[in-house]
Amino acid sequence: MTRKPIVIFNCIAFLFLFFCNSNAVAQIPVYKYSVKTDFSIPMVTGSKAYKKSFTGVMALNTAFTLHSKLGLFAHVGIHYLQNNTGNSKNFNLGVLQVKHHLLSPNIALGYEYFTGERFTLGIEAAFNKSFGKFNKSLLPDSIIDRPSLTQRFNEYALNGYVSFYTDDNLSFGINLGYHYQAYTFDPYPYYFDIINNSTNKEDIQNSNSYITFGLGFTYHFAPFMKQPIRENK
């Protein structure tokens, strides 16, 4: 079993343990604020050349959220994504190893539905301002070093999650997201055009995207005084 299925299986198993926790508090207050962090495994789904060259390593997201009594919320956060060449099809000879880092401040709007005593379902649309950089290593002496490429582009995401409260303030959950990047594949910074010169223009021109699946937790604080229990009418 490869690394990604193992991580996904562990996420589901970890959440299942919380589902079976009979000591969890049944009545959960409506909170004004929360702090959320999640860890995901990204899967590249964008342009053919980029997808053949890079594999997802990790995606981290943390955010401060402002909630409303109606279930609507808004948050401000930071998203980090890392991809690398690893054992990809085009870099499997150890000619060059490249890591692609993205750091993205983001804002999001969403809706959270409280399903009963301990569970919530949520969906959000996010806008990221992404700043990227390629780090190269294992570069042969026969190839002249090229300047590292720094990037700046917009990213749009749609995320859904299910959470389970383990006590009054803490909840754990699994999340699934789709991210679209307004960024076109560029082979120049990491010598893709030299190592694999058979790339078609059609493989390069498409924008990139990726899917994330992972596990997260949220700490809630400052309940609304006039509505202490979460209920959906």
pLDDT at 133: 84
Residue 207 has pLDDT above 60, yes or no: yes
* pLDDT, average across residues 38-42: 94
Domain-by-domain residue ranges, the chain? 3-21+30-127+163-223
More confident residue, 167 or 53: 167
Residue 1 has pLDDT above 50, yes or no: no
pLDDT at 134: 78
* Residue-wise pLDDT tens digits, 144-197: 666 666 788 999 999 999 998 888 889 999 999 999 998 877 666 666 666 555
188: its two tokens = 């120049």
* pTM greater than 0.85: no
